[in-house]
């Protein structure tokens, strides 16, 4: 760190009152407005400013909050889908400037700004309200881990500050203790006794921070941050869009490598509540900390009191699998939908024939568990590239030879599954279930074209990329024409035009978004409509058009 003089300009001054935070119902003063003209600064902060929770904010040692403008650029790069939320003032700061940040200022630094004198006391400790502010379930934890927290001042000399005033370092009392180094001790090198004792002796350190560090020394263990980062009272509430009724916050309890390319993630209630059992074959949607929403089968023991999902690293990933494999770890937070059940076992069937490809094994794990518990006859055909891709071997090894048949496509001597031949041998009382690559599901659909649709079940979570020729949607009731380009789905185009079309899976496997098709030829990419239904309906989440115009019953 340089010892050169530090000086910059305060570009914004902000204050705000405590009020409900969006749809969360939480009370917060994070939403602060820009002030013009001189603003009075007293021992407890800026005139007209409030703090909703004095446990985390406010008081003489945390009177003024400062945030570096350059941090917003970093957040926009990290979370491009939330770019509109990352604007100055979003973190509830009182002062905004560039050039000074957590890496180049120190505990005890004394700054002159306007007619006031301020002293740095501690970095901000982010709380769970940031999760709601930015509609990202792990935002508070990410702020803590990146060190882009902002920092607090105590007011040594009251006075006034005006936007455009210079803020200049006038004294550096503890040059060895940058905010970033203190954050390292707080959250990483948590039991460094020498550093803890040195910090506790710093006269300029805030009293709340001194008590935290002293308590850690006495307990000889780091404290848990869950209450602050999650908020136990908020553990069952939604983080994300206001219409996500029933979603809840869960904590990643463990991450397990299940094969060369598959990891599983065990999810628990952060407040310690036991999660209810779920139906075999059920799935949930997860909102990840980068804003992506993805759908995953529940593959753990259904009565374990926790959820487990498994994810394969996908070279064609649009962000979900790479993020989970590379970023998510034990202790992280995700926002989870209510359990959804559309792939369960048929009530009446003499035999359940399951065909899984790769990560498509996941919904079958709980279905097998139910079959064995209830004495139902089943056979699982598990298709893999090689032995290294065999996930959940510990559980599948429990099956008898007549219950599990393995097929390796890239192993010498192994025979690929002949889907057409297998299905041709089945009786009229067999139900078939398939989850795997598109080619596998297409083969199953072709081989069961003459079957009763009620006997064929598909699960699909990854939609094909939208690609094809542009076309138009014609709204039958008004004649309105809506353009659909080569990379936009019909569902997206309709919603942009103001039509509230219901959807669920958005992969063409549930039928929620199907609309009446009155004219034109559709290119059907779903796995839910029968050939007869495709003449009069279309799944607008994935399907496209072979004709220039499709007329829909809207």
pLDDT for residue 2: 43
CB 190 within 8 A of CB 216: yes
Using 50, 70 and 90 to split pLDDT, how confident is the model at 410? confident
Classify the C-alpha dihedral 501-505-507-512 as positive or negative: negative
3-state secondary structure string, 489-500? CHHHHHHHCCCC
Rounded CA-CA distance 179/185 in Å is 10
Answer yes or no: is pLDDT of 238 > 50.
Answer: yes
Share of the chain above pLDDT 90, in %: 53
Q: Does CATH number 2.60.40.10 belong to domain 471-552? A: no
Give the residue, 79 or 35, on which the prediction is more confident: 35
pLDDT for residue 236: 52
Answer yes or no: is pLDDT of 242 > 50.
Answer: no
| Mean pLDDT within 130-155 | 90
What are the structure tokens assigned to 205, written together? 């350190």
Q: Which of the 8 DSSP states describes residue 183? A: H
In the three-class reduction of DSSP (H, G, I as helix; E, B as strand; rest coil), residue 97 is classed as strand
Rounded CA-CA distance 33/39 in Å is 13
Using 50, 70 and 90 to split pLDDT, how confident is the model at 56? low
Answer yes or no: is pLDDT of 413 > 70.
Answer: no
Give the residue, 314 or 199, on which the prediction is more confident: 199
pLDDT for residue 251: 87
Rounded CA-CA distance 541/537 in Å is 12
Chain center to CA of 151: 27
pLDDT for residue 508: 76
| Mean pLDDT within 150-156 | 97
pLDDT for residue 387: 86
Long-range pairs for 48-52: beta carbons < 8 A, 24 or more residues apart: 48/15, 48/17, 49/15, 49/16, 49/94, 50/16, 50/17, 50/18, 51/18, 52/18, 52/27, 52/28
Answer yes or no: is pLDDT of 462 > 90.
Answer: no
What are the structure tokens assigned to 89, written together? 């003032």
Q: How many CA atoms lie within 13 A of 542 on its CB side?
A: 22
Report how far apart, in Å, the C-alpha atoms of 330 and of each of 251, 252, 325, 402 are: 8, 5, 12, 37
7-219 CATH pick, 3.30.1640.10, 3.30.160.100, 2.40.33.20, 3.30.360.10: 2.40.33.20
Contacts of 201 (CB under 8 A, 6+ apart): none
Which residues, in sequence order, are bridge partners of residue 112?
117, 168
pLDDT for residue 314: 77
Rounded CA-CA distance 301/307 in Å is 8
Give the CATH architecture of domain 235-336. Answer: Beta Barrel (2.40)
Listed range (153-157, 313-317, 429-433) with the worst mean pLDDT: 313-317
Rounded CA-CA distance 203/163 in Å is 30
Segments of 305-349 assigned E as strands: 307-312, 333-336
pLDDT averaged over the chain? 87
pLDDT for residue 256: 93
CB 495 within 8 A of CB 547: no
Are domains 235-336 and 351-458 of this chain identical in fold? no
Using 50, 70 and 90 to split pLDDT, how confident is the model at 452? confident
pLDDT for residue 465: 65
Domain ranges of the chain: 7-219, 235-336, 351-458, 471-552
Report how far apart, in Å, the C-alpha atoms of 553 and of each of 489, 491, 513, 515 are: 17, 14, 12, 7
pLDDT for residue 234: 55
Q: Does CATH number 3.40.190.10 belong to domain 351-458? A: no
């Amino acid at each position: 760190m340089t010892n050169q003089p530090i000086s910059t300009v305060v570009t914004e001054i902000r204050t705000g009152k405590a009020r409900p935070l969006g749809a969360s119902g939480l009370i917060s003063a994070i939403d602060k407005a820009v002030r013009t003209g001189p603003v009075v600064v007293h021992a407890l902060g800026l005139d007209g400013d409030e703090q909703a929770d004095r446990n985390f904010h406010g008081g003489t040692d945390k009177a003024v909050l400062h945030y570096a403008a350059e941090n917003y650029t970093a957040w926009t790069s990290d979370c491009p889908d939330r770019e509109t939320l990352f604007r100055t003032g979003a973190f509830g700061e009182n002062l905004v400037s560039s050039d000074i940040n957590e890496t180049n200022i120190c505990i005890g630094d004394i700054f002159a700004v306007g007619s006031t004198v301020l002293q740095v006391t501690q970095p901000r400790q982010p709380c769970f309200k940031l999760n709601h502010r930015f509609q990202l379930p792990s935002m508070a934890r990410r702020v803590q881990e990146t060190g882009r927290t902002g920092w607090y001042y105590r007011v040594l000399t009251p006075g006034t500050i005006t936007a455009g005033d210079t803020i200049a370092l006038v004294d550096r009392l503890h040059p060895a203790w940058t905010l970033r180094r203190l954050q390292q001790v707080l959250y990483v090198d948590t039991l460094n006794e020498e550093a803890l004792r040195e910090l506790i002796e710093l006269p300029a350190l805030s009293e709340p921070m001194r008590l935290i560090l002293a308590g850690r020394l006495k307990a000889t263990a780091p404290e848990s941050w869950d209450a602050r980062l999650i908020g136990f009272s908020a553990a069952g509430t939604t983080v994300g869009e206001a219409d996500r009724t029933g979603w809840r916050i869960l904590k990643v309890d463990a991450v397990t490598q299940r094969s060369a390319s598959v990891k599983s993630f065990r999810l628990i209630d952060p407040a310690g509540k036991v999660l209810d059992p779920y139906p075999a074959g059920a799935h949930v949607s997860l909102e990840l900390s980068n804003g992506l929403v993805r759908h995953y089968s529940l593959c753990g023991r259904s009565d374990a009191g926790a959820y487990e999902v498994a994810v394969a690293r996908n070279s064609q990933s649009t962000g979900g699998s790479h993020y989970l494999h590379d970023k998510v770890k034990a202790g992280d937070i995700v926002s989870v939908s209510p359990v959804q059940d559309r792939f369960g076992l048929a009530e009446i069937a003499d035999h359940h024939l399951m065909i899984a490809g790769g990560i498509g094994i996941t919904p079958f794990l709980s279905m097998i568990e139910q079959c064995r518990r209830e004495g139902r006859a089943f056979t699982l055909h598990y298709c893999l590239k090689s032995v290294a891709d065999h996930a959940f071997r510990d559980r599948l090894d429990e099956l008898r030879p007549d219950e599990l048949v393995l097929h390796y496509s890239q192993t010498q001597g192994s025979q690929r599954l002949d889907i057409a031949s297998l299905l041709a041998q089945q009786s009229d009382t067999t139900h078939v279930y398939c989850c795997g690559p598109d080619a596998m599901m297409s083969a199953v659909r072709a081989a069961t074209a003459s079957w009763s649709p009620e006997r064929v079940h598909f699960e699909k979570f990854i939609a094909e990329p939208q690609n094809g020729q542009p076309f138009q949607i014609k709204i039958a009731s008004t004649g309105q024409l809506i353009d659909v380009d080569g990379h936009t789905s019909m569902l997206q185009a309709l919603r942009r035009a103001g039509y509230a079309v219901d959807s669920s899976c958005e992969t063409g496997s549930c039928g929620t978004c199907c609309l009446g098709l009155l004219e034109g030829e559709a290119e059907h990419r779903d796995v839910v409509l029968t050939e007869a239904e495709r003449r009069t309906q279309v799944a607008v989440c994935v399907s496209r058009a072979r004709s220039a115009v499709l007329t829909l019953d809207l």
